[in-house]
Amino acid sequence: MPRVLRIINRFNLGGPTYNAAYLTKHLGGDYTSLLIGGQKEDSEDSSDFILRHVGVHPFLIPEMQRSLNYNNDIKAYFKIKSIIERFKPDIVHTHASKAGGLGRMAAFSSGVPIVVHTFHGHVFHSYFNKAKTHFFKSVERRLAKKTDRIIALSELQKHELVDEHRICGSEKVTIIPLGFDLFRFQENRYEKRLAFRSSFFLKEDTIAIGIIGRLVPIKNHVFFLQAIAALKKKTNLPVKAIIIGDGELRTELEKCCQQLNLSHSASPESSTLADVVFAGWQKDIDMINAGLDIVALTSLNEGTPVSLIEAQASSKPIVSTRVGGIENVVLPGKTALLSEPGDLEGFVNNLNALVSDSYLRHQMGDLGWDWVSNRFHYSRLVSDVKNLYEELLDQKGIHRPMLNAI
C-alpha cells in the first residue's frame, strides 16, 4: 500500500487545514497516510476541532512557522527529513508556501519518488516589496523544476502560475478545487439564524454584513470599514457590520472606526448600538453564516477564499473585490457582486443594492447553494486527488492498490 506524507504550513483555521484533513482521512483506505504541520500563530484560531471532527491525529512541528526564521526553518527541515527517513513515503504532498519549501527540499534530498505541491494561494503580489517578491518567485521556480506535479485550485490560479509569474510550464499543473463538508451549512438554518442573532442582540430588521478572515493587511479590512461608513450615509436602513476573526491589525482597525465615526464593540453584549462588532474567532461558522444577511470580502489578493464557498453553501449573497481566484469560486452577477480593488464607490453601490433589496438577497443566496454543492464537496476533492496519485504512481512504476469508490 503506497505511503503518503502530507505536509501543511500550520494548523490554523482555513482552507489548507480542511483540505489536508479530508484527504488524510478519506484516502486512508487506499494509502497509508501521515499528516504533519507547523504551529499556528498566537493571533490565529486553532484548527484542532477540524482535525478531531474528521478523526485525524497529526504530528506537530512547532518550529515550522509562518514567518522566516533561519534557526527555526533549519530545525523544521531536519525534523521533516527525519520523518521522511522513518516513514519512507512514496508520495510527499505539500500544501502552501512554507511547507512547500521545506517539505519539498527535504523530499528531494531524501529521494522520495513522487513530490506534489498544492498552491493554496501565492505571495507573488500585494504581500512583499519587489526584491522579496522576486526572491520568492526564484525559489518557487527552482522547486517547481523538480516537483512531479503542481496543483492549482482554479483556472485563474493556473494562469497566474504559468503565464503571469512563470513558475512552471502548463504541463506540470493540474487543477483541483478545494472540497469541504458543505451540507452542514444547509442544516437547521432557521434555528441557527435565531441563535446567532439572539447571541449578538440583532433585531430582525437589522441587516448584518459579515467579513470573515485574519485581521492582516492583505485582507484590507480598512477598505471594508470605509465602505460601511459610506454605506451608512447612503441608506436609512439598519445596518451592522460584524468582523469575524482576529490578528495583528485589531487595534489599528478599532482606531479606524473612530476616525470614520463608526461606533464599535468588542463583545456581543455591548453591541446593541454599535455600527461595527469585532466578534473574534468563531468556530460555529455555519451558525455565523446563517445569521448574516450579506458576506463581504475586501482582499487585495486571494487564492480560493473559503469564506465565500461557505457563504454560498449557507445561501448568502456576496459582495467582494475581484481578485485572485474569486471568479472561479462565485458566479459574478448571480451569487456575488464584484468590484475592482480600490473601487470604493463600486463596492458601496454593490452593498447598497443588496441592502435595499431583500428579494435580490434571497435570489442570489439560493443560487449560491446550487453553485457550490457539488463543485466544492470533499468527495469530489478526494476523487480528483486519487486520480492524480494513480497517474503519478503508474508513471513511476510504483505498485498501487485497487482504488475504492468514495
For residue range 246-257, list pLDDT tens digits in order.
999 999 999 999
Domain boundaries, the chain: 3-181+377-396, 183-375
Residues 6+ away with beta carbon under 8 Å from 319: 209, 294, 295, 296, 297, 336, 337, 339, 347, 350, 351, 354
Give the whole-angstrom CA distance, residue 89 versus residue 92.
Answer: 6
According to DSSP, the residues that pair with 336 across neighbouring strands are 318, 332
Say if residues 36 and 5 touch (Cβ distance below 8 Å).
yes
Give the whole-angstrom CA distance, residue 268 versus residue 244.
Answer: 12
Model pLDDT, residue 28? 65
Instruction: Determine the CATH number of domain 3-181+377-396.
Output: 3.40.50.2000
**In the chain, which residues have pLDDT < 70?**
12-15, 28, 42-47, 121-128, 269, 399-406
Amino acid code (one letter) for 143: L
Extract the C-alpha cell encoding 126: 500585494
Model pLDDT, residue 401? 52
Nearest CA among 214, 212, 211 for reference residue 44: 214
Amino acid code (one letter) for 184: R
The residue assigned the cell 461608513 is 229
Per-residue pLDDT reduced to its tens digit, 76-88: 999 999 999 999 9
The residue assigned the cell 507573488 is 124
DSSP 3-state of 113: coil
Q: What are phi and psi of 145, to 5 degrees?
A: -60, -35
Which ranges in 166-220 belong to alpha helices (H)?
A: 189-199
Starting from the edge strand earliest in sequence, which strands make up the sheet with 207-212, in order?
264-265, 276-280, 239-244, 207-212, 294-297, 318-321, 336-339
Pairing of strands 149-152, 173-175: parallel
Model pLDDT, residue 44? 62
Give the whole-angstrom CA distance, residue 142 versus residue 248.
Answer: 32
Model pLDDT, residue 301? 85
Given this structure, which CATH class describes domain 183-375? alpha beta
Give the whole-angstrom CA distance, residue 52 versus residue 31.
Answer: 20
Nearest CA among 216, 205, 234 for reference residue 299: 216
According to DSSP, the residues that pair with 320 across neighbouring strands are 297, 338
According to DSSP, the residues that pair with 244 across neighbouring strands are 212, 280
Nearest CA among 79, 109, 98, 170 for reference residue 140: 98
DSSP 3-state of 60: strand
Give the whole-angstrom CA distance, residue 57 versus residue 196.
Answer: 31
Extract the C-alpha cell encoding 52: 478531531
111 CB-contact burial (10 Å; exposed 0-12 / middle 13-18 / buried 19+): exposed
DSSP code for 239: E
